[in-house]
Structure 1
């Protein structure tokens, strides 16, 4: 049995890799194919009457580790200099403002049609408002450099802002002056922790000559994240700052302290670390979506009671996106299509306390919105690719 499981897992990873390398050609988001693959494995397992252990508890763990690695992978792609600050500020605002607008708009609809408190409605609405960097960043590989950088910044910031807002709403029964004071204190504390931990980890990476050093760094990063989570600190800020520091250490070499890192030599280590992080992120991301597809029920995908809600939420997502892109004078195509929902949506949905869950926002609705957003992105990227081909044809 164990041999069969190992063979099956190896085949699934290889199929996921095939999906990943062909995504730029087919324009089909890998998330759709991975979900279908997971569901197909379930059908085969049920047909063969194979005994399977309960897999539901693994999903949140995989999702959280995947989120950490994906945000870190994205941060390691972001190069900073003073000329990019306006660009970064714009991407931050375009990550934050739609989250706030969508969260309160969708929460208002939940509150109106469901017998629930507005706070519970808001807890269920936030997962739908967050762009999934796990899908957006890999899908942006087909875009030009500027649009790819924008999607990476925006989706990474969207994950961070979404998690911070979600935790703020779900972890505070009453929101008042004291709550805001505590929130500001948590932000300041994580910034201090990020500064100290980033320097220590960077020094460790630069000075350790043992042949194994990147795996312990990733483990320490995950450890810091989960310990911070215990104390309700927004730990994704640390992940983002750590990745930005590693990728942009050469921008600080004019300062005497940072010369100790020997930026020329350090950049080689960062490149190796970036490659390893990408490999880990791929494995965890693929495993997460395959497992989620495995746990899907056909009745959840084809739930007629939620399809109207799913279409309405999806339309609202892209309407808000188009409006904000216009307000910030950014090109609608192809950016308007780059608003997928995925890992972060699932992860936040699974994190909603049972006492705060509402009937409308169920698993079926989450699945349908994810699939619809992925289909819109797929169609948009295909049309964009066709337009570029036509322009290039003499």
Structure 2
């Protein structure tokens, strides 16, 4: 076994960040998700460690879970700081939420039935395993849809964010009520949990926004991140839906005009809030980039590629992928009533899927579920999204123009008449 050298370790860490930045440039140019390149880099590091006879041990899985928690918080916060809540976007929000919820529930039940029929004899265990596979990855989608039209891009950002949040809530409600026998008890617990979390999130959001605008010190943004991570972790210990706290805070900070109205307006220093929002947005993007980088690289280092050689594993993985897209097609077509390409194929599985998979309670962990199924769904859905974005049809020209109102046409007529008068005078 090679002796640990801290300088070599520092070099590797820095090179990973440099490669990740290069991958993000390649991703923007080619629409190939940088996540696939990061996972590939992790696999390469795994084989390099084996060649050098360096054993990372079980520490990697613990690192993966910690990175996953930070990544989850940063990604949802980054998404919330990008979302503007306006009346004209309300239909888009409602549609994206409805599709995310319907697709999540329907896909999880269908995959659970498949697993129950083939490899997992207990339906509840199969359902717990199916939920992570049913969650879309905002960590992959958000940086990958920049080339789409604004409407399609916003829809996918909203949908993937809702899918993340609902999927995590769904998963922890299932695992938190394993010993509860009565359905009414579960429903009561869920409703009370969500209600308490939302009320607490709104109160904390107001307090945090007010408090941090009062700070005059230069060092405050990472203090804010530390407080949010603290609130998230404490909330998880009390079995609350902590991600809602992060989402609501981000929305309140980015849409403070909507939340601080009337007498609450006196709480706000507009210039201070605007500055905090801009700086915090930048720090969040940078932090999410670093955490996402190391999460997927470490995930690549933990992969067992030999699991993909098992025919039963590949068949199960591909059947799960088919179920995902069939249900997604039905949900999109029944609610959007329009062209659903390339949105249909933009449904990759990633960070949340992996994080929830490693969070399955010990009493439900079964060797009958091959981790190659997880790897298959992550890789195949990412490759399908890549192909869809590379071959996406050109956006209709009409979508690039703003609809003209009656006043616009009247102004055009006046301009036309003025031009005719000038021509006549010149003649």
**Closer, same or farther in 2 for the Cα pair 1:40/1:334, shift >3 Å?**
same
CA shift, 1:119, in A, is: 0.9
Task: Name the residue aligned to 2:327.
Answer: 320
Supply the RMSD in Å over aligned alpha carbons. Answer: 1.8
Match of 2:189 among 156, 159, 182: 182
Paired with 2:235 and 2:19, the residues of 1 have a C-alpha distance of 35
- 1:41-60 alignment to 2 at 5 Å? 41-52=45-56, 54-60=59-65
Structure 2 runs not aligned, ≥5 long:
399-427
CA contact (8 A) 2:305 2:372 kept: no
Task: Name the residue aligned to 1:87.
Answer: 92
**Closer, same or farther in 2 for the Cα pair 1:301/1:293, shift >3 Å?**
farther
Match of 1:333 among 336, 341, 344: 341
Match of 2:169 among 156, 164, 182: 164
Match of 1:70 among 69, 75, 81: 75
What are the superposed Cα offsets for residues 42-92 of structure 1, whole Å, 9 maximum, x if unpaired? 111221223545322111111111011101100110001112111111110
CA contact (8 A) 1:77 1:247 kept: yes
- 1:1-394 alignment to 2 at 5 Å? 1-52=5-56, 54-172=59-177, 173-174=179-180, 175-252=182-259, 254-328=261-335, 329-384=337-392, 387-388=393-394
Kindly name which structure, 1 or 2, has the bigger radius of gyration based on alpha carbons.
2
CA shift, 1:358, in A, is: 3.8
> Could you say what secondary structure the match of 1:153 adopts?
helix
CA contact (8 A) 1:126 1:162 kept: yes
**Closer, same or farther in 2 for the Cα pair 1:203/1:41, shift >3 Å?**
same
CA shift, 1:391, in A, is: 8.0
Paired with 1:108 and 1:49, the residues of 2 have a C-alpha distance of 43
**Closer, same or farther in 2 for the Cα pair 1:259/1:84, shift >3 Å?**
farther
**Closer, same or farther in 2 for the Cα pair 1:84/1:259, shift >3 Å?**
farther
Task: Name the residue aligned to 2:422.
Answer: none
TM-score normalised to structure 2 length:
0.88
CA shift, 1:288, in A, is: 0.2
**Closer, same or farther in 2 for the Cα pair 1:344/1:360, shift >3 Å?**
same
| Residues 324-333 or 232-241, more deviating | 324-333
> Could you say what secondary structure the match of 1:245 adopts?
helix
Aligned residues: 390
CA contact (8 A) 1:79 1:248 kept: yes
What are the superposed Cα offsets for residues 185-222 of structure 1, whole Å, 9 maximum, x if unpaired? 11111112111211121112211001111101101111
CA contact (8 A) 1:325 1:331 kept: no
Paired with 1:89 and 1:30, the residues of 2 have a C-alpha distance of 30
**Closer, same or farther in 2 for the Cα pair 1:177/1:52, shift >3 Å?**
closer
Paired with 2:265 and 2:339, the residues of 1 have a C-alpha distance of 38
CA contact (8 A) 2:141 2:156 kept: yes
> Could you say what secondary structure the match of 1:49 adopts?
coil
| Residues 255-264 or 334-343, more deviating | 255-264
CA contact (8 A) 1:194 1:238 kept: yes
Structure 1 runs not aligned, ≥5 long:
none
Paired with 2:231 and 2:260, the residues of 1 have a C-alpha distance of 27
CA shift, 1:304, in A, is: 2.7
